[in-house]
Amino acid sequence: MNNGWETIIGLEIHAQLSTESKIFCGCATRFGDEPNANTCPVCLGLPGALPVLNRRAIELGARAALALGLSINQQSIFARKNYFYPDLPKGYQISQYDQPFSANGELEIMTAERDDAGHPIEWRPKKIRITRLHLEEDAGKNVHEGLPDVARFSYIDLNRAGVPLAEIVTEPDFRSSWEAYDYVNHVRRSLQWVGASEADMEKGNLRCEANVSVRRVGDEKLGTKVELKNLNSVRFMQRAIEFEVARHIKTLETGGTLTQETRLWDEKAMKTRVMRSKEEAHDYRYFPEPDLPPLIVSPEFIERVRQAMPELPEHRRDRFMEQYGLSYPDASQLVSERTLGDYYETAVEASGNPRATANWIRSELLRELEASGLSAAESPISPQNLGALIRLIDEEKISGKQGKDVLVEMFRTGKSAGSIVEEQGLVQVSDTTEIDGIIDEVIAANPTQLDSYRSGKEALFGFFVGQVMKASKGKANPKVVNERLRAKMQSS
Ligand code: ADP
Ligand code: ZN
Ligand code: MG
């Protein structure tokens, strides 16, 4: 808590739904086409053109709602939100207002404060009230070129106009920037998981606005809020909130007042600046869209959508803990992406060892994947091959240490563990005569340490194990080394 001040945040997320065509016409939603190539009389807003609702947008909207644990209203109404802007040729956006697709939900997320290095301290559950999830169309894009005051050109690209969006609004339930951060990541993953949206903030198909205010701890009344935009990543959003909270507290503590306004985050300058004040706020004059009938969603439709959805991440995490005996952090990380969870389950089938497989993925494979910027689905090591590697270790054909080197080689070459082990002549030495020989040498070379050990300095045992492993160039079977070493050090 900030010196007696409490942070209050509410979030608005716009997510583009992954349909092939727009929400009210048949134009493609493809990204990167020639400007204005994907337009027609409907999305250009030409007089007399009529919208027709895209059924797929409703399906994906339903997936989004269900993935967030929200219920879907049997009837919702499209409404016109009127404002003038060049990227909105109709002069209004078709959205939803007082009867949205979904309302009054609650979502449980996992969240943690972070230490100075940005590492989570302790994860805990937190409930966030979702005010509404409604469906609407996206606007086009204004593109500016040239230098201000010299030569400035503005263009309009309407390819994005009419792309379906789900807008998800929360109650002001976040109490820190990290809670907001964890929530946006939760929503992103849920939407990606069920295929509702690509939810990529850098590509702009998930956009986030943060409403921020502060109040004295114990106060009921909410403080003056500021709306933050231009948040191009979850981390930027978190930083923008931190900046804004500090600015609010400083302003109030020095006797200043805050104005309700919209501010933009400038990542280079690491600060926010005013975009518009409340006086410039729009009166949208909402009214029901006369060209579209009420949207009726039957329970059967919702049930069909639900049936077609994959197992949700939270369910899968709990199942991993139960079925495979994994810890919470292991299971959580393995469901951070759907393809990683799939990878894990296939690898376990091949290895027969769920815990070791979780460890190998978390400590070794993910490091390699991260270093080369690949996802689990793109891993040069197939899950079957990883499983086979773990089997070789469990069967004591190679040591764990050798396994780590083999994994790096597998990642580099895409070869199987078996063929690398053969090529490099790797074998784990479990032969007791050979190991005994090494142990005798090590003991003979370290008489002082041996004396200390015998007079009670137990910790020196580890030193001897290390020496033997080193002398065997990592090839000795550690289990055999332990057994033989203990026997020899006590008796001889
Ligand atoms: P507006 O009409 O300005 O968009 P809303 O009441 O619709 O305002 O709220 C928009 C978002 O701002 C919601 O997520 C809501 O939870 C949040 N919010 C409202 N008041 C505050 C406040 N005082 N501090 C922080 N967030 C707030
Ligand atoms: Zn169109
Ligand atoms: Mg708003």
Digit-coded pLDDT (tens) for 217-239: 999 999 999 999 989 999 999 99
Cα of 65 from ligand 2 centre, angstroms: 26
Q: Which long-range contacts (CB under 8 A, 24 or more apart) does 252-260 make?
A: 252/5, 252/214, 252/223, 257/224, 258/213, 258/223, 258/224, 258/226, 259/224, 260/224, 260/225, 260/226
Closest-lying ligand 1 atom to the alpha carbon of residue 12? 14
Residues above pLDDT 90, as percent of the chain: 81
What pLDDT, on a 0 to 100 scale, did the predictor assign at position 479? 86
Residue 31 has pLDDT above 90, yes or no: no
How confident is residue 1, by pLDDT bands cut at 50, 70 and 90? low
- Model-level pTM? 0.84
Take residue 143 and report the two structure tokens written for it.
Answer: 């593109």
Higher-confidence residue of 18 and 2: namely 18
**Mutation to probe ligand 1, out of 211, 231, 244, 260 (largest number of atoms < 8 A from CB):** 211
Cα of 136 from ligand 1 centre, angstroms: 19
Residue 149 has pLDDT above 90, yes or no: no
Closest-lying ligand 1 atom to the alpha carbon of residue 11? 14
Per residue in 19-30, pLDDT (tens digit) is 999 999 999 999
Cα of 140 from ligand 2 centre, angstroms: 12
* Residue closest by Cα to atom 22 of ligand 1: 225
Q: What is the mean pLDDT of the chain?
A: 94
Largest CA distance in the chain: 100
Cα of 21 from ligand 2 centre, angstroms: 8
Order the strands of the 5-16 sheet from edge to edge.
Answer: 102-111, 124-137, 164-170, 5-16, 206-216, 226-229, 261-266, 271-277
Cα of 39 from ligand 2 centre, angstroms: 4
Domain ranges of the chain: 5-300, 311-423, 432-491
Task: Tell me the ligand closest to 158's alpha carbon.
Answer: 2
* Residue closest by Cα to atom 8 of ligand 1: 211
Residue 318 has pLDDT above 90, yes or no: yes
In Å, how far are 66, 191, 297, 301, 400 from 304, measured between CA atoms? 12, 18, 11, 5, 47
Q: Which residues line ligand 1 (CB under 6 A)?
A: 8-12, 169-172, 211-213, 222-223, 225
Task: Tell me the ligand closest to 261's alpha carbon.
Answer: 1
Cα of 128 from ligand 1 centre, angstroms: 14
Task: Tell me the ligand closest to 10's alpha carbon.
Answer: 1
Closest-lying ligand 1 atom to the alpha carbon of residue 171? 16
Of the candidate CATH numbers 1.10.10.410, 3.40.50.1370, 1.20.140.10, 1.10.1740.110, the domain formed by 432-491 belongs to 1.10.10.410
Selection from 484, 473, 478 nearest residue 426 by Cα: 473
What's the mean pLDDT in 16-21? Answer: 98
* Residue closest by Cα to atom 6 of ligand 1: 171
Cα of 26 from ligand 2 centre, angstroms: 6
Closest-lying ligand 1 atom to the alpha carbon of residue 224? 23
* Lowest-confidence region among 267-276, 338-347, 384-393: 267-276
* Lowest-confidence region among 295-304, 374-383, 421-430, 451-460: 421-430
What's the mean pLDDT in 252-264? Answer: 95
Cβ neighbours of 375 (radius 10 Å): 11
How confident is residue 492, by pLDDT bands cut at 50, 70 and 90? low
Phi-psi region of 210 (alpha: psi -120 to 50; beta: other; left: phi over 0): beta
* Lowest-confidence region among 96-100, 125-129, 431-435: 431-435
* Residue closest by Cα to atom 14 of ligand 1: 10
Residue 344 has pLDDT above 90, yes or no: yes
Cα of 86 from ligand 3 centre, angstroms: 20
Residue 371 has pLDDT above 90, yes or no: yes
Residue 66 has pLDDT above 70, yes or no: yes
Task: Tell me the ligand closest to 223's alpha carbon.
Answer: 1
**Mutation to probe ligand 1, out of 225, 227, 286 (largest number of atoms < 8 A from CB):** 225
Cα of 43 from ligand 2 centre, angstroms: 4
Selection from 259, 257, 263 nearest residue 237 by Cα: 263
Q: Residue 15: CB partners within 8 Å, gap ≥ 6?
A: 64, 165, 166, 167, 168, 187, 191, 196, 197, 199, 205, 206, 207
What pLDDT, on a 0 to 100 scale, did the predictor assign at position 62? 98
Per residue in 372-401, pLDDT (tens digit) is 999 999 999 999 999 999 999 999 888 888
Cα of 310 from ligand 1 centre, angstroms: 33
What's the mean pLDDT in 425-454? Answer: 88
What pLDDT, on a 0 to 100 scale, did the predictor assign at position 279? 67
Cα of 57 from ligand 2 centre, angstroms: 15
Closest-lying ligand 1 atom to the alpha carbon of residue 173? 16
Closest-lying ligand 1 atom to the alpha carbon of residue 169? 14
Task: Tell me the ligand closest to 174's alpha carbon.
Answer: 1
Task: Tell me the ligand closest to 241's alpha carbon.
Answer: 1
